[in-house]
Structure 1
Amino acid sequence: MRSATAIAHPNIALIKYWGKRDRQLNLPSVSSLSLTLDTFQTQTTVKWGSHSDSFVLNGTKNQGKEAQKVFSFLNLLEPNRPYCQVESFNNFPTAAGLASSSSAFAALALAASSAGQLPQAALDQRHTLSVLARQGSGSACRSLWGGWVLWNKGHKEDGTDSHAHPIHPSDYWDLKLIVAVVSSEPKKIGSTAGMIHTEKTSPLYPLWVQSSDDDLEEAVHAIEHKDIQRLGAVMEHSMLKMHATMLAARPAVRYLKPQSLSVLDKLEDLRSDGVLCYGTMDAGPNVKILCEAKHADRISQAISPLTQAVHILGVGSDPQIIDIK
């Protein structure tokens, strides 16, 4: 029985991905830009050649939708695969808008490929793993790298040109990303269901797609010049547009909570005092705050009364194999 254990970090999209041009292949309607986080991580062990398929998440055997997604993904990786055991652990809340699926499927792709029969040439090409991880969870393709990562939406129907690539390493810019946890409960509407409903019913969705390339170009330029004010402004703009598009769906897709808005209001107050800090949110209520490292403690203290927990994170590194047998 071959096994491998991998660790991957979640990433937070600064320029958002929301909507798919091909649901089966998980091809996005827009390109996106992300920052890989440190500290938060998923550790996944895959053992090929067991007596039956088994998936354990955070110490609990799972036989629901999550298990189905895991084994469907492994079928893509190894169409004639043997049974396998998968054990995964997140050291941060799962399915609460903290990008757990990005690290989960990045770790799964790396561990399963290393333990399985994927040709070594493919293993050496991380773009190949990025394409594979994307089919498990779109954002997972960005967690195959640390630092600053761009996911190109691609144009080919087969999706082979829709993968992520790094634009700057983790030590490029000394920034922090503060996670303001206002709820650790699993969200009621999953990202895929929310995307499909938004695409079908929101009159703002076409405008969201049309304007995303401009946001991406501005963000890349801001990162090149290490201009946090410009990057933060376009990051917030992308996030608010995404949530506005969801809110315009019928019925609305609402991940925002009153506490989320209170944190965003506090960031405006801090900016008026000269503290450059900017918020973003994914498909969940928790707020992520981009700031210069020197301001992280002050921001954390200011928002702490509004949250359940505050985590100050740095920029994360590449995923890695920590054990193989």
Structure 2
Amino acid sequence: MKKVEASAPSNIALVKYWGKRHTKLNLPLTSSFSVSLTNMRSHATITEASGTEDEWDIHGNPSKAQKVLACARAATQDERPLKISIVNDFPSGAGLASSASSMAAFALALNSYLADDAFDLETISHWSRLGSGSSVRSLYPGYVLWDAGTDEEGKDCVAHTAFAASHMPLSLVVCVVDDQPKPIGSTAAMERSRDTSPLYDEFHANNEQYLQEALDAVKNKDFYKLAEISESNCQAMHAVMQASQPPVNYFKTGTKQAIEHVQKMRQEGIPCFFTIDAGPNVKIFCTPEAKDEVHERCKSLSDVKHLLLDQVSDDSPAS
């Protein structure tokens, strides 16, 4: 019996998007810039189903994955019923990009199972994007730029590696404040912000400047400039959310505690900065030399459940 396995990493955006120009196709309103990780991964396994229907072993509702599967089947004209397993080795639905890595891994597995790896990464990214927009970024290693594009069907909505991880190595300490699924999903929260937040348009108007400054910072290996841009962009995005009606507030006591801890460490000369996505958990980036100290000092945070360690990876996600 044929069996294929594929995995893909979580990715963390340093310059984020918050809003879509086409919800059904998951086309972002603005471009974004992220890093792909090493340890936090999703794993997809596909074999032949025992009956005439697809069989799913997946965390939560399989509706996102079903969109990816439908697109792959349309491309390959292969309607065989499949047995599908997708697992994450880190918390799901908690703002740690588990949807991105799981849909990227699934699309890679579908390319192997249905097409014997005949399709290129750009095509695979169009499949995975239907399940999770930011999955496009999880298909590439290192520092990744995802171009929002302008084509109505998303043909130019593609990603690429802008810099290798080795160009400017980063380590990561994740403060897991809450590992449970968030109360409102990202797409629903984006739509609420679009419809009600007075800060929504301003955030998108500033996107190009954020992107260019972040790209320049990495190009010049300027850690502290990247820290400034990433934190500013993160805070601006959450301000958009919190100005929505009703407010979208993912922060918890532990979130604020971790932010203050990062600010204190940096004041003491430790090279680190934070970013937070649609969830309460805080990602702390630092230089590899500072990782052990940041990790040790974060152990004292009373409202943080546990810590995860990772680093930006140059390994191809297509594994």
TM-score normalised according to structure 1 size: 0.92
Give the aligned partner of residue 179 of structure 1.
Answer: 174
Partners of 1:143 and 1:261 in 2: how far apart?
Answer: 28
Give the aligned partner of residue 85 of structure 1.
Answer: 83
- How far residue 69 of structure 1 moved from its aligned partner, in angstroms, is 1.9
Give the aligned partner of residue 53 of structure 1.
Answer: 54
Partners of 2:263 and 2:285 in 1: how far apart?
Answer: 13
1:37, 1:313 within 8 Å by CA — same for their partners in 2?
A: yes
Q: Structure 2: any 5+ residue segments left out of the alignment?
A: none
Does residue 94 (structure 1) correspond to residue 92 (structure 2)? The answer is yes
**Structure 1 residues 152 and 55 mapped into 2: Cα distance closer, same or farther (>3 Å)?**
same
1:93, 1:100 within 8 Å by CA — same for their partners in 2?
A: yes
- How far residue 173 of structure 1 moved from its aligned partner, in angstroms, is 2.0
- How far residue 219 of structure 1 moved from its aligned partner, in angstroms, is 0.1
Q: 2:263 aligns with which of 263, 268, 287?
A: 268
Give the aligned partner of residue 215 of structure 1.
Answer: 210
Q: How does 1:263-302 map to 2 (within 5 A)?
A: 263-302=258-297
Q: Once structures 1 and 2 are overlaid, which stretch shifts more, 303-312 or 276-285?
A: 303-312
1:48, 1:115 within 8 Å by CA — same for their partners in 2?
A: no
- How far residue 171 of structure 1 moved from its aligned partner, in angstroms, is 2.3
- How far residue 20 of structure 1 moved from its aligned partner, in angstroms, is 0.1
Partners of 2:117 and 2:4 in 1: how far apart?
Answer: 15
SS in 2 for 1:98: coil
- How far residue 225 of structure 1 moved from its aligned partner, in angstroms, is 0.5
Partner letter of residue 32 of structure 2?
A: S
**Structure 1 residues 48 and 72 mapped into 2: Cα distance closer, same or farther (>3 Å)?**
farther
Partners of 2:121 and 2:164 in 1: how far apart?
Answer: 15
Give the aligned partner of residue 316 of structure 2.
Answer: 318
Partners of 2:258 and 2:228 in 1: how far apart?
Answer: 16
Partner letter of residue 313 of structure 1?
A: D
Q: Once structures 1 and 2 are overlaid, which stretch shifts more, 311-320 or 152-161?
A: 311-320
Partners of 2:285 and 2:277 in 1: how far apart?
Answer: 14
Please list the CA deviations of residues 188-237 of structure 1 after superposition, one character each: whole Å capped at 9, or x if unmatched: 10111111111111111001110111000000000001101000100001
Please list the CA deviations of residues 137-157 of structure 1 after superposition, one character each: whole Å capped at 9, or x if unmatched: 011000111111000000111
- How far residue 73 of structure 1 moved from its aligned partner, in angstroms, is 1.8
- How far residue 177 of structure 1 moved from its aligned partner, in angstroms, is 1.4
Partner letter of residue 56 of structure 1?
A: D
- How far residue 311 of structure 1 moved from its aligned partner, in angstroms, is 1.7
Does residue 28 (structure 1) correspond to residue 23 (structure 2)? The answer is no
* Alignment root-mean-square deviation, CA: 1.5
**% identical aligned pairs:** 37
Partners of 1:13 and 1:72 in 2: how far apart?
Answer: 24
Give the aligned partner of residue 38 of structure 1.
Answer: 38
SS in 1 for 2:172: strand
Q: How does 1:123-272 map to 2 (within 5 A)?
A: 123=119, 125-272=120-267
SS in 2 for 1:116: helix
Q: Once structures 1 and 2 are overlaid, which stretch shifts more, 312-321 or 196-205?
A: 312-321
Partners of 1:158 and 1:106 in 2: how far apart?
Answer: 19
2:170, 2:312 within 8 Å by CA — same for their partners in 1?
A: yes
**Structure 1 residues 319 and 119 mapped into 2: Cα distance closer, same or farther (>3 Å)?**
closer
Count of matched residue positions in the alignment of Structure 1 and Structure 2 = 312
